[in-house]
A = this chain, B = another copy of it.
Amino acid sequence: MREEATAFVPGHVTGFFSAHPDEDPTKAGSRGAGLTLTDGVEVSVEPATESTVVLDGTEAEVEPVTTVLETLDATARVEAAADLPIGAGFGVSGAMALGTALAANRVFERKLSANELVTIAHGAEVQAGTGLGDVVAQAHGGVPIRLEPGGPQDNKLDAIPSRARVEYVSFGELSTADVLSGDTEALTAAGKEALARVVEEPTLLSFMYASRLFARDAGLLTERVTETIAEVSEAGGQASMAMLGETVFALGTGLSDAGYEPSVCATHPAGAVLK
């Protein structure tokens, strides 16, 4: 057994998605597309006499992390440091689950493959209702397109072969669990249309356009988000809403040009990695 291992998992903002439930949480998930981000979560795992999770210095209940530890038969202290706002659509819970899986596999020498670890983290996240597609996107990196839902044994991924500077501002949280447990019919229809558009033209511009239409048609826009996206458009930029959070992300200098003081990062070229 090693003393400690640390993984870095990129953040992930989903631009659009459709939900695909399944009794088996490793087969359930979402189709959609998003940006993985150089702002992410660093997750350290060390053996302990009882399992605890600490997020940005404060002890926290993070159900997917607990599930991952149990699945790997690991009793550990998990410490996560997030560069990102929590609960605001950046995939922090998915990042914690995936980072815990990678680091615990190393510390406890569980000898699982990358796909097996991603499957465990994805299943734990789906089961907890905290996300449907972040984990597989965060394992992939870049600008992943989720063509088929589920963990790596079932899904199918492609990607937009581009990179970009990304800016974001966050006004607050939206509960993923609340939205996903509500009526998702309009959302799913809008998600399918957006995906068809991006498959037809896998570029960043078409991704941003499809994301904006999705946010409107799925009925998820808040007033502040609508206003901010409009201001970025007026300044000649491209912005949309992070699914699911009261967060606006923009390509390049979109938010700065519109007078905001955004956080600045970039698309992350790699998936989650052990440090």
Given contacts A113-B159, A113-B161, A114-B142, 19 further A-B contacts (CB under 8 A): A102-B161, A105-B161, A106-B161, A106-B162, A111-B201, A111-B202, A112-B161, A113-B158, A113-B160, A114-B160, A114-B161, A115-B159, A117-B161, A141-B270, A141-B271, A152-B158, A162-B274, A269-B273, A270-B270
Within 8 A of B (CB), among A219-275: 269-271, 273-274
CB-nearest residue of chain B relative to A157?
Answer: B115
The 6 closest A-B pairs by CB, nearest first: A270-B270, A114-B159, A113-B202, A269-B273, A269-B270, A115-B158
Interface of chain A: mostly helix, strand, loop or mixed: loop
Contact of A190 with B by CB under 8 A: no
Contact of A145 with B by CB under 8 A: yes
Contact of A20 with B by CB under 8 A: no
Q: CB distance A114 to B201 under 8 Å?
A: no
User: Binary interface profile of A, 107-121, with partner B (CB < 8 Å = 1, else 0)?
Assistant: 000011111010000
Chain B residues near A117: list those with CB within 8 A.
161
Chain B residues near A273: list those with CB within 8 A.
142, 163, 269
Chain B residues near A102: list those with CB within 8 A.
161
Chain B residues near A145: list those with CB within 8 A.
113
Contact of A203 with B by CB under 8 A: yes
Within 8 A of B (CB), among A192-224: 199, 201-203
User: What CA separation (Å) do A145 and B114 show in the bound complex?
Assistant: 10
